[in-house]
Chain A
């Protein structure tokens, strides 16, 4: 009996290692990348660079928090990138041309995201269409829809000096021209904490994991699987809407037809952060860390003279590495 106890304990410990393990590796990678770029480039280690890395990370982090949920169910949401641009265009358009107050435009932006999430979720959970197909379709639809609604032109949300420009301070407080406080990181961390709680300590999270782990077993336990499956996509849409606001606050203009590829950075970040490619496992904090790896590569590589195409290649290689870790882990579990 005593032997058995220690065996169980040992096994448990190694599984904890596995969970914390990947995050631990990712943190090390982040530190290593940061040190590497700092040593290689004097410009990189400037305060303004760090602020701009954070600036450009918010919308990807927010998308990544949301998309973690469909990923854990074993699905995916490809519509968040073009969706983000679509929601931002519509919100900004209402503010600029229809005298919506800024908060009203922001609300529409977020609600639009929730609505597309609801469409995605319903098609996946109720109509039983593969998530890849559903969200690929809504990806294309939102891409066209945003451009049509605004008439094909770029949209500018109020600038910091215009009335209504206050919303840009949500993410970055300007003390003077040079000193800026990246306050957005605080909101992002709060949202990470909240969604971490939702994933680990509420029914929504528990059943999201259940669906990804063994959907039939979850159904046989009497859980309203369809509802919670839809909720995963609604959360993804909600956070795509929040990401749209972060994007609007950081960038001067929003261009129709862009946004394709953003989702890959968010999904890539989540997978680097330990979301299992086959569903069931993953964490919000892991996704956050994973996105930082991608953002560091994206902003750091130009400083050492590697341009956009190289970023893509290196990010792709890092992703393959992360997925391989997951696959090898699985294979070891089987044996």
Chain B
């Protein structure tokens, strides 16, 4: 490791209602791979966006090569030598590799573009990186791994001094990851500073020199990778005090029947051999890091995405679910994490949304029986304590928490036995959160079986009777609430898959 090239000190950033970064520090040296770790929403991405000029900081200083700097857009950061290789690739599929690398700063020849020179320069870059890619290939013809190599080449071509990798391995195969690591080691040898964001604990141990851990938008500490264990890092990641009282024991009555049973479910890379049981009156928490395959599992069960294999049993009977319609007919309701896109029709009224999945029951002949619809909607507004001026109110005018209640009403209306809540309180303020929690507990007490997918550790520990932890498409463990702690959940969520 060489001298310090980049120092971020006391970086503070607030968004309306969220203190996203609370005086965070980060120091990167030349010839170092520095891991940035933290749970979902710990503030890693926000910190990197502040560094590369996408967000402006409220407080703090950034010192780069001994000078205090402030970038106003990614271009300025690039020109200074700080570039980011995004998790989602920013590529132009219809153009060639060389055209992509030099997009926005093409070499000119007369009034035209000098494509030949661009190809030559790109070839030189690949040579330097020891990568075998033909610069004249169309970008969309490359594998994801190769596309990422092109992104790296693009980064280098900016005369980068600090390169940020944002979860670079998420979409790569084992062999591609090996190749990526080789490149990163080369770059380190060339004295660049590298920031490496990843959830994969095993990678951190293999490739990084130091680790900085963030939690809830705050700086926790920096460790030398060689001197610490996986558990040290996990403890730093989750070491918060849980002030909302966690459930201490399961509320499910002894011998409650199994309502839903999933056996060896496979659906793409993100759902591999998933098996679990869900009991009557149980809240089953699905925990894991971003991209662990929890939503994909839910969508496969619900028939929203195709599955390759696996059996689903409802109340002991094997059922076939190929479409969401099948799932609904078998009594499964899915409350999407993205309410606005999949859950509700915002420009329709509370009443219309409530009866959306059960419209057949409100028909008189071919006409919708408005009065009956409104009567039922009103019953749910009362029982769920939805705050709305009336059932004819457009859903778009309600708050997030009350919108969620309308979605719940829709599925209750359908008399679903199994409710899958995907991030039930995302984007909902604290007061409304508590109401949703109370409602879920009430539903469970009434005998509904609930799957709750949540990325919030506190929510998992507070609500679940039992916890299933997923990592990279597989279930890595099952914990009873009595034995679950933040540490053992995080341990399962970052388990190395061999």
Is A214 touching B91 in the complex (CB atoms < 8 A)? yes
| List of B residues within 8 angstroms of A15 by Cβ | 137-138, 141
Tell me if B103 and A218 are in contact (CB < 8 A). Answer: yes
Proximity string of chain B (124-138) to chain A, C-beta cutoff 8 Å, 1 when within and 0 when not: 000000001110111
Closest chain-A Cβ to B114's Cβ sits at a distance in Å of: 9
Across the interface, do A8 and B95 meet the contact criterion of CB distance under 8 Å?
Answer: no
- Which residues of B sit under 8 angstroms from A217, Cβ to Cβ? 90-92, 103
Q: What 0/1 readout, one digit per residue, does chain A (204-244) give for beta carbons within 8 Å of chain B?
A: 00100110111011101111000000000000000000000
Known: A197-B112, A202-B112, A206-B113. A11 touches B137 (CB 8 A): yes
The answer to whether B138 touches A201 (Cβ under 8 A) is no
Closest to A5 in B: B132
Asked if B74 lies at the interface with its beta carbon under 8 angstroms from chain A, I say: yes
A203 within 8 A of B: yes
Q: Determine the residue in chain A with the shortest Cβ distance to B89.
A: A217
Within 8 A of B (CB), among A268-302: 280-281
Please tell me if B115 contacts chain A, counting CB pairs below 8 Å: yes
Number of residue pairs A-B, CB distance < 8 angstroms: 74
- Given the interface pairs A206-B103, A210-B103, A223-B103, the reply to whether A12 lies near B92 with Cβ below 8 Å is no
* Complex-state Cα separation, A218 to B99, whole angstroms: 12
Q: Is A162 an interface residue (CB 8 A)?
A: no
Interface presence of B340 (CB below 8 A)? no
CB pair B132 A222 closer than 8 Å = no
Report the separation of the CA atoms of residues A309 and B99 in the bound assembly, to the nearest whole angstrom: 45
Out of B95, B112, B115, which one reaches A209, CB within 8 Å?
B95
Answer whether residue A4 sits at the interface, using C-beta atoms and an 8 A cutoff.
yes
List residues 96-136 of chain B with CB under 8 A from any CB of chain A.
99, 103-106, 111-113, 115, 132-134, 136
Known: A213-B92, A213-B93. A8 touches B103 (CB 8 A): no
Q: Which of chain A's residues 4-45 have a Cβ closer than 8 Å to chain B?
A: 4-5, 8-9, 11-12, 15
User: With contacts A11-B141, A197-B112 known, is A214 near B133, CB below 8 A?
Assistant: no
Count residues of A near B (Cβ-Cβ below 8 Å).
28
CA distance A220 to B115 in the complex (A): 21
Name the A residues within 8 Å of B133 (CB-CB): 8
The CA-CA distance from A216 to B86 in the complex, in Å, is: 13
A1 at the interface (CB under 8 A from B): yes
**B75 at interface by CB-CB < 8 Å:** yes
A214 touches B75 (CB 8 A): no
Give every chain A residue within 8 A of B138 (Cβ-Cβ): 12, 15
A221 lies within 8 A of B137 (CB)? no
Please state if B140 and A333 are interface contacts (CB–CB under 8 Å).
yes
- Taking CB as reference atom, which chain B residue is nearest A334? B140
**Chain A residues, CB < 8 A from B272:** none
Q: Mark B66-86, 1 if CB is under 8 A from A, else 0.
A: 000000011100100000000
Please give, as numbers and ranges, the residues of chain A lying within 8 Å of B134 by CB-CB distance. 8-9, 12
Residues of B within 8 A of A11 (CB): 137, 141
Complex: chain B residue closest to A216, CB-CB? B90
Please judge, given known A-B contacts A11-B141, A12-B136, A12-B141, whether A203 and B106 are in contact too, CB under 8 Å. yes
Whether the pair A202, B104 counts as a contact (CB closer than 8 A) is no
Q: Given the known A-B contacts A8-B133, A12-B137, A15-B138, are A213 and B111 also in contact in the complex, defined by CB atoms under 8 Å?
A: no
Q: Which residues of A contact B115 (CB under 8 A)?
A: 201
Among A4, A201, A212, the one with the most B-chain Cβ atoms within 10 Å of its Cβ is A201
Residues of the A chain whose Cβ atoms lie less than 8 Å from the Cβ of B106: 203, 206
B348: chain A residues at CB < 8 Å are none
Alpha-carbon distance between A195 and B103 when the two chains are bound, in angstroms:
20
C-alpha gap A257/B338 in the complex (Å): 48
**Bound Cα distance A201, B99 (Å):** 11
Q: How far is the CB of B193 from chain A (nearest CB, A)?
A: 22
Contacts of A209 in B (CB 8 A): 92, 94-95
Nearest B-chain residue to A210, judged by Cβ: B92
Nearest-neighbor residue (CB-CB) of B54 within chain A? A220
| Contact among A4, A201, A214, A222 with B92 in the assembled complex (CB-CB below 8 Å) | A214
Q: In the complex, given contacts A12-B141, A214-B93, A221-B90, what are 7 additional A-B residue pairs having Cβ atoms less than 8 angstroms apart?
A: A8-B132, A12-B134, A201-B112, A203-B113, A218-B104, A222-B74, A222-B75
Task: Give the B-binding residues of A (Cβ under 8 A).
Answer: 1, 4-5, 8-9, 11-12, 15, 197, 201-203, 206, 209-210, 212-214, 216-218, 220-223, 280-281, 333
Can you offer 28 A-B residue contacts whose CB atoms are under 8 A?
Answer: A8-B132, A8-B134, A8-B137, A11-B137, A201-B112, A201-B113, A201-B115, A202-B112, A202-B113, A203-B106, A203-B113, A209-B92, A209-B95, A210-B95, A212-B94, A213-B92, A213-B95, A214-B90, A214-B91, A214-B92, A214-B93, A217-B90, A220-B90, A222-B73, A222-B104, A280-B92, A280-B94, A333-B140
